[in-house]
Chains A and B, each alone.
Chain A
């Protein structure tokens, strides 16, 4: 299928050159001594008090990176990111859980988080798992590792590592991954530089630790257009590009060839409320991020399902449908957001089930159409005209229904009014999703970790807590 493009080749080139200009002439607020020494030694310079990156260093660093990293689940299943497949993962780090039955919300607990992971493990179209909720009883310093530790027992799918805040977290995250048989090179960890163009000391130190450990670098710049990046989307994307590439340069100097997934989380400002915008422009900027990342040869991970909606309503459906479809058709390698609501603040079991269904449709669009002899069906057309003059009884018909010519959704309502009204009790798609989520929760079991693995994870977590306490002092 031809990829959907919103930018011409000339546009992409102009954005690439603008990025190099920002990196080499405007520069980053960057004060962390150890990383500064490394970067200055590699050819960077200080201009107007900010760290600037020469174009040739940026380009040679991009050239070194492993752009086809493989992430692995504890059952050995591997996803090669950038190999042509599209992988979906869930939203990470939601605060609240939405109860679709009562249309109410509450802060998510550990139990909610475990349930969420178990449902995602059961859903065939959620390919990798990200720690979902941030329980309120956990301190900020221990949140990432707490979420990661509690995710591992409830899925056999590849777990995308948590967002890292502090450098010392990395070794513990890698140790935890090792306990379930995942090597550092198969683990992604993410870190968000601060927009605009600022690398705090802890973030710079964390980049060094991640590179040393050899984990796959998934830096997640998350500028907000209109607040922490320009209001114009291409301007924001250029800034985001610089924020993605700067930590990549540092990582590739320390560990040439370490894995990278090019990520962008540009969100635009909702100018009437100050919140993050989940209108269709999110899909547009995600698609453009994909185009820019692919220009460098990277696998690209962007926002997919996203909405500002608070319930499973019409706004929710159209926003998340468009925001996932547009970057998917642009060729995204990974899309996030399964189960998300309210611009990432909230998650819902029923939403996960609905997204699982939506992924099926998005994937169908990516598959596109075939015009080979089998699909042109000339022979069948001839046979039918010589015979029954309808296609219902043709083997070709059944074969292609089974082969996926149509996405046979299980949740969407496709019956007549009478059937819907009289036999189905007027149930709608969301009602079926609620039922299915409840059923999965009741029935889906994940192979538990061995007792010694659980003990080992506890030991690592306790050691991390002790070290965090020391760092705090």
Chain B
């Protein structure tokens, strides 16, 4: 019974059906299924599948987004149940995401946030046009493991360096890792500004984030 339900859960994530995901999450509660197992054996399987497909060039970005949204919807139903049991889904790490100051592009960053959330990270997305001060302030406030910064413009990507320099100045680098991304970002730039990681896409970003928090095998 539960095996069949797990399959349906994975499938609704693959198909990006948020409403179905919510229904199945509710059904699992009615059936007294363990919420953590529902997430890991059911919904996460779908997210991982679509991520792999995307990585192999077999799935489209909208499928990734829709799968991430459906995952978030299912987890929102199940999280109160976990709390009732005094448990929590294993939190992979806390991440502050932002598009840097002067840049108002956010689709890529939002997608990274969705995929990180779907993969078990706790994500605070500050939005666009965020100063170094605000980004670092929020990271300290929530005791973040990672700051993720996006920039779409070659003219604004330099702001990524400002945040890193500020973290260095404050001696925060060992504590807070920095991921950068965005269309103009190259490996050479990442090395130049001494960021800890970067990825060309949201699926890769999840992989990098896991590595940065020492959970690459999860």
Contacts and interface: CB of A to CB of B under 8 A. Distances in A.
A393 B62 CA distance: 5
Contacts of B61: 392
Interface in A189-218: none
A459 to B, nearest CB: 49
B180 interface: no
Contacts of B200: 416, 418-419
B130 to A, nearest CB: 17
B175 interface: no
B111 interface: yes
B157 interface: no
A391 B65 CA distance: 10
A455 interface: no
A395 B65 CA distance: 10
Contacts of A401: 60, 62
Interface in B59-87: 60-63, 65-66, 69
Interface residues of B, number: 15
B66 A398 contact: yes
A180 to B, nearest CB: 38
Nearest to B64: A392
A208 to B, nearest CB: 57
Contacts of B66: 393, 395, 398
B142 interface: no
12 contacts: A388-B110, A393-B16, A393-B65, A393-B66, A395-B66, A397-B62, A398-B60, A398-B63, A398-B66, A401-B60, A401-B62, A418-B200
Which of B62, B63, B111, B187 has the most CB atoms of chain A within a 10 A radius of its CB? B62
Contacts, number: 32
Interface of A: 388, 390-395, 397-398, 401, 416-419
Which of A393, A401, A418 has the most CB atoms of chain B within a 10 A radius of its CB? A393
Contacts of A418: 186-187, 200
Closest 5 CB pairs between A and B? A393-B65, A392-B65, A398-B62, A397-B62, A390-B107
Contacts of A395: 16, 66
A401 B16 CA distance: 15
Nearest to B110: A390
Nearest to A408: B60
A444 to B, nearest CB: 22
Given A395-B16, A418-B187, A418-B200, 14 more contacts: A391-B62, A392-B61, A392-B62, A392-B107, A392-B111, A393-B62, A395-B66, A398-B60, A398-B62, A398-B66, A401-B60, A401-B62, A416-B200, A418-B186
A390 B107 CA distance: 7
A417 B69 CA distance: 30
Nearest to A397: B62
Given A390-B107, A392-B111, A398-B16, A417 B186 contact: yes
Nearest to A406: B60
A113 to B, nearest CB: 34
Interface string B10-21: 000000100000
A388 B72 CA distance: 14
B57 to A, nearest CB: 9
